[in-house]
A and B are shown apart, each in its own frame.
Chain A
Amino acid sequence: MDVISLLEDAIGREKLLVSKADLYAYGFDASIHHAMPHAVVKPKSEEDVIEIVRVAHEHGIPIIPRGSGTALSGQAVPIKGGIILDMTAMNKIKEIKIENFYCKVEPGVVYAELNKELAKYGFFFPPSPGSGDVCTIGGMIATNASGMRAIKYGATRDYVLGHRAVFPPGKAYQLGSSTLKNSSGYQIERLLVGSEGTLGIITEATIKIIPLPEKRAVALASFDSLYDAGKGVANIIAAGIIPSALEIMDKVCIQAVNKAMNIGLPDAEAILIIEKDGKEEEIKKDIEKIAEICRKSNAKNVVFTYDEKEMANIWKGRKGVLPSLSRYGEDRISVSLADDMAVPISKIPDAVKSFQEIARKYDIMIGTYGHAGDGNLHTKILIDPTKKEEWEKAEKVVDEIYKVVYSLGGIVSGEHGIGISKAPWMVKENIELMEKIKEAIDPKNIMNPGKMMQWKGSIITNLRYR
């Protein structure tokens, strides 16, 4: 029996998508990769998920769970074919318990839609990934997503109190709890955080929520050198101030955003965007202190604002860096490679300086930006993706970048995850234990096979560009 017939028998025809258009469209996420699945399923309940896993386990069919398909490293690309499990039809907010600081949601709930609901109670779920308007909670957990507010509020993992999940051969478990504290054995719910669909499928998540801050202010500091901007970051943190966001953008990114989005960011070698939230008096004091530190770190200009519209405009520019870079080069576009390293905060200046040197060495354009305040940087490489030699050069650049990252005590991914695009640079020491866990939970290797520690080849594979 083929995959489609097996699924039809298990959950019926109406939750299946099998047309040529569906199979092709579901073969993409936001990475450089593409592959076609054999079928797409949109489960509507945990029972559906159990049935699908049971059938897939019995017949050895790969399952690739996905939310909105915003993963940047190929996590949702079905490189071994199989079943794409589109979780977006499970999108109910089941419970909001303000008095207990949690909410229960299905995995397909969109991050921004959850926060819109929570805002009615004066609460929020803080990680704020750049794709927050479209990404799902399930996807955020599976990649341990975070964003610009991680410096103060942490990443998704810090808010996962528990969840229900289905594992091979087709059984659901309640993991973790609905309590803020839990010291009751292995924290297995944490094991699924960042697991990229390689272990199980989350069917319900219990998420910690916190009150919204009273006020926000944003400072915008421009610098004549990227290195000085990096020093500014380290100096702010060293002064004991914890901003709610501390972002860096280099000249390439500034120009790209101004060109694509007409935001009007200052013309500088680098800028820092620093947000402080909390009580009004506290913000006022801290934002002025931050401005002073920036000036002492050679900022040529510092402005700050409390105006919601102005702040929204600045953040719009920052969130638009990634796609705007695609509009920057005349014949080059931005591709997601080496885009998400994390280094110790004090090493930010060295990291950005090294990336610039690598760009010069290979005569390649690299845009550097990111959540400098928590040591998480993004680099985007601009190439002509239709040329093989450009990919070969890009792969060498990625290798050099990661060597620098490791030499500075950093790590391959801060918030996007591994998938395929970062697999060769994972920490080798972790791989053996990860493989043992994977084998114990998924002995037939049906859960998103070939990803993370299982990817052994070059990253220039299954390219979506022709």
Chain B
Amino acid sequence: MLEKYHKEILTCTGCAFCKKACQIYFHTRNETDSPKGRIMISYGLLTGEIEEDESIVKALQKCALCRLCESVCPSRVKIGDIIKAARYDLKMILPEHQKLIDELNGWNEEINGKRIFIGELDSDAKEIAEKLNATPYAIGCGLEIERIGRENKLIEKIVDKIKKNGVEEVIYYEPQCKKYFEGINAKNILDFIESVDINEKFTLHIPYDYDDEFVEKVKEIFKGKKFELVRECCGAREEFKRAFEKEAEEMAKDIIKKSNGKIITTSLKCYEHLKKYGDVVDLLHIANFKVK
């Protein structure tokens, strides 16, 4: 896959501006932990100058693919795509990642109900799903598998079951899941939010790789409220957290430190991770829904 990105890699001038956006580099200040370092390592693999070993695999996987680095790259290099492509070409896999993939690909529950809510839900969120007359399924779309650079068999199973069992409407939360539901009546849960219960000033956390449409909808929901927007990665992504626990903890603590008062995050994954370190709630927990 990397071959496809040859020109894209050459476009990187090595200016290192990307370092200022990388939460992982911020802590270690190791070249290898910077977006530039990962691009160069990808190039080394592509040209055959270096061969894969454990350190190369770790260097390429030690990135949550938040893509905030792309926002400061003046050459607009598709850093995340390059890293992802390099991961797909890797023969080795970290044991933590293999375990996670086995868990996710091994999922095989039945999906029933006319309207379903897909997401990694805690008990409160399950109640919300019920309020929306939706059957909750505590499983994601397998984005983790793709980020690791392997085939996502989980989503194939989910989509297959949705189609086979006559599910009429799918509700999801993570905006990246949208691409899987082509041809299915699927809606983001934001479409069901009527208002939010928050009056104090807060920090709004939206992962950087959530698309513009999602961000605009969230801003609309919080219109008139006083908040500061934070797009930095908190290290919550399952595959990252499992393989790089210490870094994930430091990244979460950073977000807490930077925040102004309470944090409202727009990702259930981030909520689960961040709440261990500070005053954090998920958007769904303060939202009032248009119940149908």
Interface residue ranges, A against B (CB under 8 Å): 17, 19-22, 24-26, 28-31, 40, 42, 68-70, 86, 88-89, 91, 108, 112, 131, 133-134, 260-261, 319-320, 322-324, 326-327, 331, 333-334, 336, 385-386, 464-466
Candidates B16, B29, B58, B76; contact of A89 at CB < 8 Å: B29
Question: Do B56 and A320 touch across chains, with their CB atoms under 8 A apart?
Answer: no
Q: Give residues of chain B (98-137) contacting chain A, Cβ–Cβ below 8 Å.
A: none
Near A by CB (< 8 A), chain B positions 71-91 give 72-76
Question: Which residues does chain A contribute within 8 Å of B165, judged by CB atoms?
Answer: none
On whether A20 and B56 interact (CB within 8 A), knowing A320-B74, A323-B75, A326-B75, the answer reads yes
CA distance A363 to B153 in the complex (A): 52
Measured between alpha carbons, how far is A270 from B21 in the docked complex, in Å? 32
B55 in the interface (beta carbon within 8 A): yes
Complex Cα distance A70/B34, Å? 13
Given contacts A21-B58, A86-B31, A134-B20, contact A30 B15 (CB under 8 A): yes
In Å, the complex CA distance between A411 and B74 comes to: 28
Interchain residue pairs A-B with the least CB separation, the first 4? A19-B55, A320-B74, A323-B74, A466-B47
Partner of A323 from B15, B29, B32, B59 at Cβ < 8 Å? B15
When the two chains form their complex, are residues B32 and A22 in contact, meaning their CB atoms are under 8 A apart?
yes
CB-CB nearest in chain A for B54: A19
What 1/0 flags go to B154-171 for Cβ under 8 Å of A?
000000000000000000
Q: Which of B11, B36, B50, B72 contacts A24 (CB 8 A)?
A: B50
> Max chain A CB contacts within 10 Å: which of B20, B49, B75?
B75
Specify which of A22, A133, A322 is in contact with B55 (CB 8 Å cutoff): A22
Residues of chain B contacted by A24 (CB below 8 angstroms): 40-41, 44, 49-50
Q: Report the Cα distance A91→B7, complex, angstroms.
A: 35
Q: Tell me which residues across on chain A come within 8 A of B54, comparing CB atoms.
A: 19
Contact (Cβ within 8 A) A385 B10: yes
Query: CB-CB < 8 A to A86: which residues of B?
Result: 29-31
List residues of chain A with CB within 8 A of the CB of B74. 260-261, 319-320, 322-324
Interface centre among A20, A25, A29, A131 (most CB of B within 10 A): A25
B32 touches A25 (CB 8 A): yes
Chain B nearest CB, measured from A256 CB (Å): 10
A112 contact set on B, CB distance < 8 A? 20
Cross-chain contact of B15 among A17, A26, A42, A70 (Cβ < 8 A): A70
B53 CB within 8 Å of chain A: yes
Residue contacts A-B, CB under 8 angstroms, 14 given: A21-B37, A21-B56, A21-B58, A25-B34, A25-B40, A25-B41, A25-B59, A30-B14, A40-B31, A86-B31, A88-B29, A89-B29, A324-B74, A466-B43
Contacts of B19 in A (CB 8 A): 68, 134
Known interface pairs A326-B75, A333-B10; A91-B16 also in contact (CB < 8 Å): no
B1-44 interface (Cβ within 8 A of A) = 7, 10-17, 19-20, 29-32, 34, 36-37, 40-41, 43-44
- Given A68, A319, A322, which contacts B13 in the complex, CB threshold below 8 Å? A322
**A323 CA / B72 CA spacing, docked (Å):** 11
Residues of A within 8 A of B43 (CB): 466
Give complex CA distance A322, B11 in Å.
11
A residues less than 8 Å from B10 (CB atoms)? 326, 333, 385-386, 465
Select from chain B the residue with minimum beta-carbon distance to A135.
B16
Given the interface pairs A30-B13, A323-B15, the reply to whether A69 lies near B31 with Cβ below 8 Å is: yes
B15 touches A333 (CB 8 A): no
Q: Which residue of A lies closest to B31 (CB)?
A: A25
A69 to B51, CA, bound (A): 23
Known: A19-B55, A24-B40. A326 touches B11 (CB 8 A): yes
Q: Which residues of B contact A465 (CB under 8 A)?
A: 10
Give the most central of A31, A112, A322: most B CB within 10 Å: A322
B10 to chain A, nearest CB (A): 5
Q: Which residues from A are CB-within-8-Å of B49?
A: 24, 466
Chain B hits for A69, CB < 8 A: 14, 16, 31, 36
- B29 proximity list for chain A (CB < 8 A): 42, 86, 88-89, 91, 108
| Chain B: CB-nearest residue to A19 | B55
Known: A25-B34, A261-B74, A385-B10. 10 other contacts (CB 8 A): A20-B51, A21-B32, A31-B14, A69-B31, A69-B36, A260-B74, A260-B75, A322-B74, A333-B10, A466-B49
Q: Out of B14, B59, B72, which one reaches A21, CB within 8 Å? A: B59
Chain B residues with CB below 8 A from A21, complex form = 32, 37, 41, 53, 55-56, 58-59
Chain A residue at smallest Cβ distance from B45: A24
Question: Which residues in A have their C-beta under 8 angstroms from that of B30?
Answer: 17, 22, 42, 86
* Chain B residues near A466 (CB-CB < 8 A): 43, 47, 49
Q: Which residues on B sit within 8 Å (CB–CB) of A464?
A: 14, 40
Find chain A residues with CB under 8 A from B51 CB.
20
- B16: contacting residue among A70, A320, A386, CB under 8 A: A70
Q: A20-B53, A68-B19, A134-B20 are in contact. Are A26 and B31 (CB under 8 A)?
A: yes
* Cβ-defined contact, A334 with B14, below 8 A: no
Does A323 contact B31, Cβ atoms closer than 8 Å?
Answer: no
- Separation in Å of the A386 CB from the closest CB of chain B? 8
Residues on the A chain within 8 Å of B31, using CB: 22, 25-26, 28, 40, 69, 86
Chain A nearest CB, measured from B191 CB (Å): 30
A residues less than 8 Å from B58 (CB atoms): 21
Q: In angstroms, how far is the closest chain B Cβ from the Cβ of A148?
A: 15
- Give A30 to B53 CA distance when docked, in angstroms: 25
Considering only CB atoms, which chain A residue lies closest to B6 in the complex?
A: A386
Q: Is the CB of A20 within 8 A of B50?
A: yes
Given contact pairs A19-B55, A25-B41, A261-B74, A327 touches B15 in the complex (Cβ within 8 A): no
Whether the pair B32, A17 counts as a contact (CB closer than 8 A) is yes
Contact, CB under 8 Å: B13 / A131: no
Instruction: Give the shortest distance, in Å, between A442 (CB) and chain B (any CB).
Output: 25
CB pair B55 A20 closer than 8 Å: yes
Q: Inside 8 A of A319's CB, which chain B residues have their CB?
A: 74
Bound CA span A336–B14, Å: 10
CB-CB contacts below 8 Å: B230-270 with A: none
Contact between B11 and A131 (Cβ–Cβ < 8 Å)? Answer: no
Write out the residue numbers on chain B whose beta carbons fall within 8 Å of the beta carbon of A322: 13, 15, 74
Is A260 a contact of B76 with CB atoms below 8 Å?
yes
* Residues in B whose Cβ lies below 8 Å from that of A133: 17, 20, 72
